Amino acid sequence: MFWKSEAGLGSPDFQILQAVLSPGDAVKIGLPAGGWTLIGNVVQPKSRGRIHLTGRDPADPVQIEANYLSDPDDRKAVFACLELCRETGNSSALRPYVSREVIPHNLERPELENYIRGTAFSFWHQTSTAKMGRDAMSVVDGDLRVYGIKNLRIADGSVMPRVTTGNTMAPCVIIGERAAQILRIEHKW
């Protein structure tokens, strides 16, 4: 489900997924072995992380600072998401499938904030690190060419000017198809 934390937003800012966890995974996070969960995430985060090189050797690892929920709007969206997850999970329609809410249960606001920070994770849909456009922050042009470097193009989710509302697989397929079309035309294949 895609939903808005505020009615006035132009598009949804969070997503909720239902998941049945394996008994081992459920126990690791404090759920009963037969439990299920609603998992929410911010779909157009304003928080920005950083990737740093740790050395000159291409094999050197990178340092990643995810910086999840650093923007107040993202925290607002995640709280609205959590409230909707709890309302949905505890609804009368789901009562036959729910014996009780296990986590986060009845936490007060400070403890709830700690719970959210401690359980936040990525949905692995990072995009927009080499965005397409014409402004100073853009990396590629409309033909996927990297500005300032000859014969180099980027054709993946990093060229999206902003994070998509939904999952990233379909837009990545379109970017790949467009790259193939550009190369066919340019090289007369």
The catalytic residues are 125
**What gap in Å lies between CA 67 and CA 49, rounded to an integer?**
5
Q: What is the dihedral of CA 75, 77, 83, 89, to 10 degrees?
A: -120
CA neighbours closer than 13 Å in the CB half-sphere of residue 24 = 0
Cα angle 92, 95, 100 (rounded to 5 degrees) comes to: 120
Strands (E), 54-186: 62-65
**What gap in Å lies between CA 57 and CA 48, rounded to an integer?**
26
Contact between residue 139 and residue 146 where contact means Cβ atoms under 8 Å apart:
yes
